[in-house]
A and B are shown apart, each in its own frame.
Chain A
Amino acid sequence: MSNSGSRTYTVRLELVDRPGELVRALEPIASRGGNLRAISHERGSVTPRGQIPVEVDVEATPEQFETIVEALQETDINVVRAGQERYTEEVVVVLVGDLIGADLSETLAAVQSVSGVSVRDISLTSPHGEASSARLRLATESGGVASTLDTLRRVAGERGLRVVEPLGGERV
């Protein structure tokens, strides 16, 4: 199905070590018109977090590929790299404050406007009677964690939000 606009992309995923994960990861690729060209996994290779790194070569048009990556990111599957972009570090933070009043989506947009930062997922809680909190998982380029946190601190500060940052110097 090599139509004229399609090219080969490499997607690097990190899968949780449990049955069915690979099928779950490949389904969004196939169902959105991607043509699987190769799947590679080095036997015994495990990430420091205990996940299984898998590289998938996909043939697709740029539009198809975009929907594939979105679909993968909607699952909880960890997309480490897709195409040219390479996300190599993740950072989890908790924001505290009036997240609705501060307009969370604007805050996130401001963070993502920094090149190489992507918001992987958000979890929000807003219990009655106390400030709301949001946990963000951000992906940055290698070495980008410090500048990402600087930006986040500034953006959050402008909106009166507290940022609970991870403690460095301790590998999880």
Chain B
Amino acid sequence: MNVAVVGVGAVGSAVAELADEHGHTVTALVDSSGAAVDSGGLDVTATLDRKNETGAVGDADPDRLDAVAHDVLVEATPTTLGDAQPGFGHVEAALERDRNVVLANKGPVAERYGDVRALAAESEGEVRFEATVGGAIPVLSTIEDVGPAQITAVRGVLNGTANFILSRMAAEGLAYEHVLAEAQDLGVAETDPSFDVEGTDAALKCVIVANVLADGREYTLADATVEGIRDLPTGALELAAETNRTIRLVGEVQNGAVRVAPRLVPENGAMAVTGTQNIVQFETRHAGSLYHSGRGAGGPETASAIFADINRLDG
């Protein structure tokens, strides 16, 4: 397939670099600085080198993607809340020209799911967004395969930063601020860690899951009850450990409610993944619980979910 990539951060770059290996051709790379386009296929390495050197991928008009051959638009710009722009606008434009859209950006499907669905209904193009939840872990396709009506709850450790902080606090008895600073040094946490430690990122992922599970109802971040891990005392983890439990930031979608909060989980149980690892539990009506764990973030990891979506478009 011909792939146009919008957003050339860690995920967008990884998609561009790995496209050839997956049998696809990158025909456009677009970011806020401009665009590089070639309907016959871009030289990805040269384009990314150019971005590294000059800060711009190219000087083509980013608003003229209609003139470029592409079967699918990969939307990998940073997640924004509220009107979810500019990501939503990219989705809208692609669907209006009957192209498929694969999202890594959570904004449009977390904040404007109804609008996205309505646009998709009017379009020949299809929208997929596996990469928005749990990085490389097949979360949405599992729901699709098992059947939303067969799933009674989805619970998960969906934020690597928060999980790194909690598991290191528990293992070393270190204070929150200390581990957060460490995580920032390692690049595991952002300079402004609010999005991760306050639970917003995990909540957006749960809202997307809720939208996929729901039959008709639309969820946004405002529908989620969110409590983060900021300033959780080491003592709480110690008390939990005395009874073979630990604390994880868990997102839960159950009975139509979306909730993110630090929760007590068995120390040796499936949910107590450590470091930046993620895990998702699917509680099913007839088949007990299914667990998927893996890397919930990272460029190539998230790109692998994007290619899974593109391949599903193929079928």
A residues with CB within 8 A of B: 92-94, 96, 123, 125-127, 129-135, 137, 162, 164-167, 169-170, 172
Contact = CB atoms under 8 A, between A and B. Distances in A.
A127 B264 contact: no
Contact of B264 (A94, A131, A134): A94
A172 B245 CA distance: 10
B226 interface: no
A139 to B, nearest CB: 15
7 contacts: A94-B264, A133-B239, A167-B248, A169-B155, A170-B266, A170-B271, A170-B281
Q: Main SS of the interface on chain A?
A: strand
Contacts of B227: 162
A132 to B, nearest CB: 7
Contacts of A133: 233, 235-236, 238-239
Given A164-B247, A165-B261, A169-B283, A135 B233 contact: no
A43 B92 CA distance: 68
A166 B243 contact: no
A126 B235 contact: yes
A92 B264 contact: yes
A125 B262 contact: no
B172 interface: no
**Which one of A135, A167, A172 has the greatest number of beta carbons of chain B within 10 Å?**
A167
B144 to A, nearest CB: 21
B270 interface: yes
Interface in B151-193: 153, 155, 175-176
B239 A94 contact: yes
B271 A167 contact: yes
Given A94-B240, A130-B176, A130-B231, 12 more contacts: A92-B264, A125-B235, A127-B233, A130-B235, A131-B231, A164-B262, A164-B264, A166-B245, A167-B271, A169-B289, A170-B269, A170-B271
B250 to A, nearest CB: 6
Contacts of A164: 236, 240, 247, 261-264
Given A94-B240, A135-B239, A162-B227, A167 B265 contact: yes
A172 B248 CA distance: 16
A131 B230 CA distance: 12
Contacts of B1: none
A14 to B, nearest CB: 15
A118 B271 CA distance: 28
B269 A172 contact: yes
